[in-house]
Structure formats: structure tokens, C-alpha cells
A and B are shown apart, each in its own frame.
Chain A
Amino acid sequence: METYLTLIIAIVGAPLFPGIILKVKAFFAGKQGPPLLIKYFTLLKLLRKGSVYSTSTSFVFRLGPVVSLASALVVLFFFPFAGSRPLFSFHGDVIVLFYLMGIGRFFTVIAALDTASPFEGMGAAREVFFSTIAEVTIFTILILFYRLNGSLSFAEYFTGENAIALSHASGALLLFVIVALFMVLLTENSRVPVDDPATHLELTMIHEVMILDHSGPDLALIELGSFYKLFFYSSFITHIIYPFTFASGILNELIFYVILATVYVAIGVTESIMARVKMDLVPKFILTSFALVFFATILTMGVLQ
């Protein structure tokens, strides 16, 4: 029961949280900002519209939104939100899930290339480059987690006796992971300083420019997929920060959503106080995250022997 409940809350509630980011940014800018539910309004608006398809495109263009949404959704099925049992789980699921996100990205990229637009090609090239480097960080984190408790699935990471949590013996190493994962979150979800979702200059965009030609319900599906992706990464960080081991499900939920909101606030703060880095410095930014977790992983060689 709790499994279904948390999953439904995640699926329905994911579009709420990006509103927090906008609020925080508005606060820093001294504005009132859009309402918290702005993303729901956007989705509803898009769903009411029709679409304009470019004459250059083929069926691949329409496949892009579907695959990216499907891959983001499947990831949610395997995540133990607020310490509850996930819908599905097996030893090794993390590898599959990160690869599933890969297929979502693959189709977003080729859908962008389908439009024959030079801008979208540019965005696609950046997306595949940066995500390849980010993938290395992710897998280093998986290696570190395997060293810490020998598990290979989200459920095993965050539930059970030997759960991964900041408060445990090797928690110091997890500080690196949290910082690195936050950097990957910014990269993979096209936030400042890697990408600027609010920019109006196509040349400087990554993710936004790839979906320039999508409109109507297709765009809504893409947006929904990206909310889920952001929600997943934020929950991942939340779980590392705090283990949800209370007997009461409701208490777990409450703390989970508070910390989750804090992660979103952190994203908003980062976006407000930082400018985006130059495009050729982005690989360095992502490699910094890799260096952090790689260092932590090397440390386990001494710690555990």
C-alpha cells in the first residue's frame, strides 16, 4: 500500500517541485515570481494545444517524447521513495535504469537531429558529450556503493541493516558523493552552471534547444519526463543525506519531502548566485565531480581492508 502511495505521490507531485526553484530564483531577484503550481498550469496549457510538425521530420521526431517519458517513468518504479519498498527491485537494477535513461536521451537527441535545424544539432552534440562524462561519475558512485555495502539496486542501497547513509561509519565518503551527485544533477537536468533553462539565446542552450520544435502534448510529455528525471536525482541525493528508518511511514514521508524540497531550494540558490560556465569549461566541471567520487572510491581500498 505504502509502495503505491509513495509512487503515486511521486508521479503526481513531481511537477510541483520545479516551482520551488522558480520561487527561490524570484526571491533572489526581489520578485514575487510565478505561483508554485506554475508547472501544472504549463502542462495543462500544452495539453490543450495542437502541434506543428516540421516538414523535415519523420516518425522519429514523435518517438522522442514518448521514449524519454517512458524511460523516466520506469526509473521511478524502482526507487524506494521515503524508505518504502519500491514497486519492483532486483540486484543489478541500477545498471539497467541508468542505461534506460540513456535510451531516453538517445531518442531525444535523434529527435532533435530529425528537424534538420543547426541549433538543435548543436544542442544534441553537447548533450551526448556532457552526458557521457556524467555517466562516468554515476558509475563511479555505483562502484563506491558496491564497496560500501555490496548492493546493486536502489532498494538495497537505502533499506535494510547496512543502508547507505551520511550518519553511518563511512559517511564521510558520502559527502563527496552528495556534492558529486549534485553536480551530475545540474548537468543531467540542464541547470545552471551547465545549461540555462531560462535563456533566450538558442546558441547557448543544450537541452532546451533540442526541443525547440516540439509543441503541444509532445512538449508536455518531454517536460513531464524531465520533471521525473529531476525528481529522481533529487530523491537520490535526499536518501543519501538521510536514512528513512522510522517505523511510521507518514513521518518518513514528511522528512523526505522536507529534505527533497531543500535540495530543490539548493538548485534554486545555485542558479541564482552562479552564472553559467563557458561551454568549453563544462567538461572540467563534470570531471570535477568524477574526481571527487573517484577519490572517495580509492579511499575505500584503505578503509575496508
Chain B
Amino acid sequence: MTHFKRETMKNALSKSLALITAVTLSGCGETAKGPVEITLPNKNPYPSTYKAPESPAFALIGANLLTGDGAELTNTDLLIENGKIAAIGPALALQPGTIQIDANGQWVTPGLIDVHSHMGVYPSPSTSNHSDGNEMTSPVTAEVWAEHSVWPEDPQFEKALAGGVTTVQILPGSGNLIGGRGVTLKNIPSLTVQGMKFPGAPYSLKMACGENPKRVYGSRNTLPSTRMGNMAGYRKAWIQAAEYRKSWDEYLKDSDSRSLSNTPTRNLRLETLAGVLEGDIRIHNHCYKVDEMAQMIDMSKEFGYKIAAFHHAVEAYKAAPMLAEEGICGVMWADWWGFKQEAFDMVRENIALVDYAQACAVIHSDNPIQVQRLNQEIAKAMSAGNRMGLDISAAKAIRWGTYNAAMSLGLEDQIGSLAVGKNADIVLWTKHPLSVYSLAQKVWIDGNLRFDRFDKSVQPTSDFNLGIISAGEARP
């Protein structure tokens, strides 16, 4: 009769629920009248099962904090209660029984955030059986969700944790114009991806400009084979999404003519795109070049959606005033270049210049080696900026991998800085965090110690690693 799902959602997302009176059509075409409960498609059918374990209150004493939102506080205490930052200040008065960790002279930052990772979808080992990041069977695959590809045992996750990375956005690849939904994860060991999902984090949608989609589909003689083909492909998808959204809006608005027989047919692809138009799903747009960024911005206005961030934005320094004006984050590498023409105009000062123009500048890795040392990537980008005469302090630079990154994910009210009330995602470093010699010493997520360099019992290792190079060995 209809594909419409009728079970009432237990997990109530208020916007998803519509209790309405309707004329229903029974199985044999007989008409029955009366109040009927209709449930809209569940917007969260694979909900997070993550719950931060309870942890006792503790305090880091006498630490040097780079707060993540631009400040440096020396010789400062940091109190954590119930997984949240409860107090920050010099010589805090602590309740008796509060665990005290001597951090005198040691450096502390918020947990690092990598907003562009393919961990789990392109895991190690990178064998073809695990290559689950790019659904390159159609240029628009908004219906696929990266979380359905994530292999939680990917050994890359624990290495990133050892580098102080507490939150990651996992994105589909860039072979498609619209590659599918991304998902934001807490970087904790879990049997299931649901156990890693950041509760309440907005969904994202990966789009890709430029060379990749036109190369993938052009080589098959299908649209797109050109940049104009790319644009036509996105626009066609948005037109369909707008129509789809309209059909649902009209259906819900017009209670007189509404019946189950005219319930719009559910379309996963268009449902995600409509979610973008409704403002629920954030656009993370792989886009290297300034001219293409301008096209994408115009297109977002044509169809009425907002772009959260341009990723791999090698030419963000050319687009910086535009990014500042539109409130779009530039998500960048420190120094990658030359692998494609669209990555040829790299300047190492890219992040510094975007920051200088007061746009939202974010570091990203897109790489399982660099996700382990985002602090070093930040150091390089800062140093390049200072070499040209900008006065960028470590406190300002660390924002690129903390607060600004959280902003691009729409999570800046929960993570990304050391501020009272925020999640206690914290890294204690062995040296200054921007030193190449520095290693994450302890990493807490929601106040729980998840990694300790000096305590083997707090060094998670994937099932994959057990006995893999010699029987009985737990780590390679």
C-alpha cells in the first residue's frame, strides 16, 4: 500500500512526529474515517548508544592551559565533575576527596577534533574488503551514510586517540558530487559505531567540487565529465530535493485532502537533501578552488541552504573575505599540495591568512598519519604565518583544531574549549603541545581517562592487533 513506516517512534524527535487526523485507506480499498496516528520518517533510526561512564571528580593542578578559544592560562587548576568542566582558576578550593593530578608546568589543551577523517571507512589494513568510503556507483548518493561503513575495530582510531584526538567527523569520500552523510564520533573503543556516535551531533552531508567527481564519471562517459556537468548534477539534485520537501510540506499542511493513499513515497536520497534544505544537516563541501567556492555559495543561495565548511580548501586564502562574509569555515591542511592541479596553488600560510581575515580557520587531516599529530600540523601552519610577520600565539593557533573545528561541526557549545560547563575532553601533553617532541600523555573524554601513555591498562588496542604478528602479543 505504502512504504510509510507506521510504528510510533519511541525515540522522540519532536520535529519528526506528527500526530494528525487522517482519512486512512485500508488494505482492500475501503475507506475508513477517524483519527489516525501518522509518524513521519524517523530522523534518528540508528541512535547513539554512547553514555559516558560515571567518573569521580578530579582536578588538574597548576597546569598551563591553552583553552582552545584563544587564551593561555598559566599555573591554573581545572576541575572536572560528572564529565564536565566544573571550574577553572588559580588555586581552586577543592572538595575533600577530589582526586588531584599534579600538572605543574605541564600543558593542557581541549581534546583535538579532526573534522575530516576516513577512519573506519578506509581503515588499516587498507585492503579492498575494507574499502567502504566511496559509493561511486552514481554521482549523487545522498542516501548513503558513512556510519554504515565504519569498522569500529579500525586500529587507526586508537592511534589518533594517542595523538589527543577525542572527536572525529567521518566523511564519505569525494568521488561523487554528493557522497552521502558524515557522522561525528567520540574516539572511544566500541563494538558498534552506535556506541561511538556523538549524542545529538548534527548530521553532515559530503559534497565534492572539482576534479574528483568529473574524473570518476567522465571516465565512464556519464555526467559529470566537466565542471559545468558537476554544477548541473548538484542543481538537478537540489531541484528534486526541493520538490520532495514541498510534497511533504503540502501533505502535512493540507489536512483536508490528506490520506494515507497520497502519502508521498519515501526517498532516502531526497530525504537527506531535504534535511539540508530544512537546516538539519550541515554541508561539508570538499572544494579546493576559490572560483568553485563562489559557485557553491551562489548555488546554496539558489536553493536556500547553508554551507558549514569548505574542506581541502587549498585556495581558502584567496577566498578568505568571502568565507568571513558568508560565515563558512575553511578546513585546510598545513602544507599538502601538488597531487592535483586544484591543489597546486598551496601556500603554507593558508590557515594563518584565513584566520587573519577573521574567517573560521580549521585544520584537518584526511589522513591516518596526520590525524595522529594534528598538533604538529597546527604548529607548522602557525609558524608559516609568523614567518610572514603575523603574530600568532600558540593559544590562538590551537583554536584551529579545537574551538573552530567544533564550530564547523555545530558542536561549539559542547566541545572545543576548556570552559565551565563543557564536556571534559582534555589532553595533558608531555611537552608544549606545538613541539614536535610532545606526545599526548593522558586523554580524557567526558571526564573518563581513555588513554595514558604511562599505563598500559589505559591503552586501548583493537581486536585486530591481538596476536597478529606473534601469538600472545597484544600490540604491534
Query: Are chains A and B native binding partners rather than an unrelated pairing?
Result: no
Please list the residues of chain B having a beta carbon within 8 angstroms of any beta carbon in chain A. none
